[in-house]
Amino acid sequence: MISIRDLTVRYGGTIAVDHLDLDLPTGKIYGLLGRNGSGKTSLLSVLASYRRPSAGTIAVDGVDPFENAELMGRTAFIRDTLDVQQQDRIRAVLDFAAALRSTFDRGYADKLTEMFELNPRKRVSALSRGQRSALGVVLGLAARAPLTLLDETYLGMDAAARDTFYRELLADYVAHPRTVILSTHLIGEVADLFERVVIIDRGRLVLHEDADVLRGRGVTVTGPAAAVDAFVAGRTVLSVQSLGGVRAATLYGGLDDAETARADAAGLTLGPVGIQDLFIHLTGAQR
Amino acid sequence: MILVAKSLARTYRPVVLWFLCAVAVIVAAVSIVAARVSDTGFGFWLITSGHATKWWLLIMGILLFATYLKLYVANGVTRHDFLLGSALFGGLTAGGFAVLLPIGHGIEQLVWMIVGTPPAGYPAFSAAEAVREFGHYLPIELGFLVSGAFIGAAFYRFAWWAGLLLILPGIMPALAADALLGGVGADPPAARGLPYAGALAVSLVVTVLMAAMIGATMRDVTIRRTAG
């Protein structure tokens, strides 16, 4: 269990994380969501012992991870800026990680390097933005660290590479269960991976919930435009999409049995809501 | 600690080898030219490599944290282990240079004797002289290394203007070692102002105090983001 209590991170007069309380059971994939400047990277930096919190505590299984050799060795934090030597070749970067991390799987790293079509002889400085992100993914997944923190590691990656990343993340997580915290803005694309979702805004916790429960916080109503309009009247509508005479409205809040029956009677189809729609609603409502 | 020292040694091995080869080639070339045009009366090896190695260590110290700390922490190494490992690696490198300098002096004298005779005033090499040179060079090399590391740590941890201000105290180990143990202008080095034991003690105390300040400065430092 990762326990965060009253955590505050300040940069001079700016408060990045504001008295955050959070309990994260281990062995799950978390989606850490928040708008720009919401404090996601600061939270991950403290979890990875990259910085001391300004106030509050973090405990991993009851132990403060800061400068704890065992816990730091069991944590991998991949930042979007990538902590590698620019003039090193990819092969050297992987060798370096393998030499320092007992859990690093060099064979798997080579396999991923091939999958992402990275030339091991190429220098980091010669990589494109997307290739650098792919190298971050290789380092993050091959580290097989019990606590893996991936901070917007997809930046610049094309759709095919992102798809490879998501598939490999899931496959390797199933084969080697661990705690993965994935910070991302591409919520729609990656939401299906999340087992739990943490949403923060302006450094404060907005929501921490099981992904399926979160999806149940809303409903999508699809059907003839007039029938949909009539049904959603007076409710919180997160988004509306129309195509011809068909309309799909995303509502915040669940429906009780009577409302479900009324929707059926009106010829409307009910479906789950996207986490992205809920995220926009929840973080928008905070501002 | 050992893991970090080994890893740094692997990283620096080719750099150190190229550096030493370059110094040896420069010394050989300058010696040949100088021997043809004048009677120099001093050992090029000790002057050139004595300066080159201490400045090299100063620069290595300056770059140490900015270049390597984040790489090690990103791979699960604590700051504490990095500090100890880099101290071990730096100490061994400084010690290695302090051993190489008198060995090079001996080789230089041997070469002089093979091609003729050493110039008048050339510092004669002997086993006792080698030990004496080692005893002078080691604290000088350590002083420069620690000065560089403190300056690098100050710029890493604090704002640029604070880093600039801290250069002054940071350079003290290098200045103390150079001034008291004769790293500047002396060939071979000789203690000045104080007897050797006193000069060595003052130099080592200043160096150890500064090393402790590096530890205090970096033990909980925030790992900076890579630019770009």
Q: Enumerate the domain spans of chain B.
A: 2-218
| Enclosing domain of residue A31 | 2-213
For residues B214 and B83, the answer to whether their CB atoms sit within 8 Å is yes
How far does B77 lie from chain A, in Å, by closest CA?
Answer: 6
Among A165, A186, A213, which residue terminates a domain?
Answer: A213
Dist CA A196 CA B73 (whole Å): 28
For every residue of B61-82, which 3-state class applies, written as one string?
A: HHHHHHHHHHHHHHCCCCHHHH
How far does B169 lie from chain A, in Å, by closest CA?
Answer: 27
Contact across the interface for A67 and B80, Cβ inside 8 Å: yes
Residues of chain B found within 8 Å of residue A95, distances taken between Cβ atoms? none
Average pLDDT over residues B95-101: 93
Residue A257 forms contact with B (CB below 8 Å)? no
Which 7-26 residues of chain B touch chain A by CB within 8 A? Answer: 7, 10
Dist CA B19 CA B27 (whole Å): 12
Same domain? A199 vs A107: yes
Residues of chain B found within 8 Å of residue A52, distances taken between Cβ atoms? 220, 222
Same domain? A233 vs A261: yes
Per-chain mean pLDDT for chain A: 90
pLDDT of B42 > 70? The answer is no
Same domain? A120 vs A251: no
Residue A84 forms contact with B (CB below 8 Å)? yes
Residues of chain A found within 8 Å of residue B226, distances taken between Cβ atoms? 79, 81-84
What CA dihedral angle connects B104, B109, B114 and B115, to 10 degrees?
A: 100
Comparing CB atoms, the residue among A69, A77, A82 nearest residue B226 is A82
pLDDT of A37 > 50? The answer is yes
Among A185, A213, A241, which residue terminates a domain?
Answer: A213
Structure-token match 């269960």, residue found: A177
Same domain? A228 vs A204: no
Residue B79 forms contact with A (CB below 8 Å)? yes
Of residues A240, A189, A239, A197, the one with CA closest to residue A215: A197
Comparing CB atoms, the residue among B70, B81, B222 nearest residue A83 is B70
Comparing CB atoms, the residue among B71, B223, B228 nearest residue A85 is B71
Q: Is the peptide bond before B123 cis (omega within 30 degrees of 0)?
A: no
Residue B66 forms contact with A (CB below 8 Å)? no
How far does B148 lie from chain A, in Å, by closest CA?
Answer: 21
Average pLDDT over residues A140-165: 92
Same domain? A144 vs A268: no
Average pLDDT over residues B76-99: 95
Task: Summarize pLDDT for A215-247 with one digit per residue, the tens.
Answer: 777 888 999 988 898 888 888 888 888 888 899
Residue B38 forms contact with A (CB below 8 Å)? no
Same domain? A38 vs A93: yes
Residues of chain A found within 8 Å of residue B7, distances taken between Cβ atoms? 96, 99-100
Can you give the CATH number for the domain in which A249 is found? 3.30.70
Of residues A242, A250, A235, the one with CA closest to residue A280: A250
A-B contacts at Cβ under 8 angstroms: 65
Least confident of A149-153, B9-13, B36-40: B36-40
Same domain? A184 vs A259: no
Contact across the interface for A100 and B81, Cβ inside 8 Å: no
Same domain? A253 vs A185: no
pLDDT of B121 > 80? The answer is no
Same domain? A229 vs A255: yes
Least confident of A75-79, A249-253, B11-15, B56-60: A249-253
Among A178, A213, A248, which residue terminates a domain?
Answer: A213
Residues of chain B found within 8 Å of residue A99, distances taken between Cβ atoms? 3, 7, 10
Contact across the interface for B3 and A76, Cβ inside 8 Å: no
Among A11, A45, A50, the strongest candidate for a mutation testing the B interface, having the largest count of B CBs within 10 A, is A50
Contact across the interface for A66 and B77, Cβ inside 8 Å: no
Which 88-107 residues of chain A touch chain B by CB within 8 A? Answer: 96-97, 99-101
Total structural domains in chain A? Answer: 2
Return the pLDDT at B38. 65
pLDDT of B228 > 50? The answer is no
pTM for the structure as a whole = 0.86
pLDDT of B216 > 60? The answer is yes
Distance separating the N- and C-terminal Cα atoms of chain B: 30
Average pLDDT over residues A76-82: 91
Dist CA A142 CA B171 (whole Å): 42
Which 40-59 residues of chain A touch chain B by CB within 8 A? Answer: 45, 49-52
Can you give the CATH number for the domain in which A147 is found? 3.40.50.300
Residues of chain B found within 8 Å of residue A75, distances taken between Cβ atoms? 76
Same domain? A26 vs A55: yes
Return the pLDDT at B142. 96
Residues of chain A found within 8 Å of residue B81, distances taken between Cβ atoms? 69
Contact across the interface for B7 and A66, Cβ inside 8 Å: no
Return the pLDDT at B186. 56
Least confident of A134-148, A205-219, B150-164: A205-219
Residue A12 forms contact with B (CB below 8 Å)? no
For every residue of chain A, which 3-state class applies, written as one string?
A: CEEEEEEEEEECCEEEEEEEEEEECCCCEEEEECCCCCCHHHHHHHHCCCCCCCEEEEEECCECCCCCHHHHHCEEEECCCCCCCCCCEHHHHHHHHHHHCCCCCHHHHHHHHHHCCCCCCCEHHHCCHHHHHHHHHHHHHHCCCCEEEEECCCCCCCHHHHHHHHHHHHHHHHHCCCEEEEECCCHHHHHHHCCEEEEEECCEEEEEEEHHHHHCCEEEEEEEHHHHHHHHCCCCEEEEEEECCEEEEEEECCCCHHHHHHHHHCCCEEEECCHHHHHHHHHHHCC
Average pLDDT over residues B123-152: 91
Cβ partners under 8 Å of residue A181, min gap 6 = A24, A30, A32, A44, A47, A147, A148, A149, A150, A198
Residue B216 forms contact with A (CB below 8 Å)? no
How far does A150 lie from chain B, in Å, by closest CA?
Answer: 12
Comparing CB atoms, the residue among B7, B73, B225 nearest residue A81 is B225
Average pLDDT over residues A245-256: 85
Same domain? A26 vs A126: yes
CA separation, residue A258 to residues A215, A262, A264, A281 (Å): 20, 6, 10, 25
The segment with the largest mean pLDDT, out of A87-101, A177-191, A261-275, is A87-101
pLDDT of A144 > 80? The answer is yes
Contact across the interface for B71 and A96, Cβ inside 8 Å: yes
